[in-house]
Amino acid sequence: MTSNTTVEAIEADVPASVKEARLWCNNGWTARVIENEDDEGWAVEMIKDGEPEPALVGPWTMGRDKKNPKPLDAAAFNTLVKTASEFLQRQVQQSHAVHHQNITVNAPSGRISISLDMVTEEDDPHALLTAHDANGEELAQVRVKPGFKLNKASANAWIDDGYRTPC
């Protein structure tokens, strides 16, 4: 038996859908039309639920009176959600590409995959340089400076040096 108090508590955790002219909240996103700080126009900010900062801020259309912003509607909100979601996805992909690099080289022992994974700890930033053989078995892993540049030359030099920590 479920008490009304429990049902009310569960419903309180789910944000209500808001659909106002300058504020829409739905499906984990909030769109808020704000005054543009850079000029006389309007902007819209997209905030993902639980995040302190907007994921995306962009210009917003003036209304027919050329003074007030055009009201938000379902089509505009859905487009903004799609755009902000894609923007966040590209940010994650870019961050992954910067923090995780891979290269494969041909060595006398066969093809070796080398990866460089950045560890962005505030007090101890570094990277891990790892070698795997063609079967996926780890051959070596060493800690390197965060500025280490992974390329074919540095990978081959590391292999030729017996997987010792590069200078």
CA–CA gap between residue 141 and residue 149 (Å, rounded): 16
What count of Cα atoms within 13 Å lies in the side-chain half-sphere of residue 72? Answer: 26
Instruction: List, for residues 7-31, the tens digit of each pLDDT value.
Output: 343 344 445 689 999 999 999 999 9
Instruction: List, for residues 73-95, the tens digit of each pLDDT value.
Output: 999 999 999 999 999 999 999 98
Looking at per-residue pLDDT, the higher value among 73 and 39 belongs to: 73
The whole-model pTM stands at 0.63
* Secondary structure (DSSP) of 72-114: P-HHHHHHHHHHHHHHHHHHHHHHHHHHEEEEEEEETTEEEEE
What does residue 53 show for φ and ψ, rounded to 5 degrees?
A: -115, 150
Asked if pLDDT for residue 66 goes beyond 90, the answer is no
Domain ranges of the chain: 4-72, 99-160
Average pLDDT, the chain: 88
What count of Cα atoms within 13 Å lies in the side-chain half-sphere of residue 20? Answer: 9
Looking at per-residue pLDDT, the higher value among 140 and 36 belongs to: 140
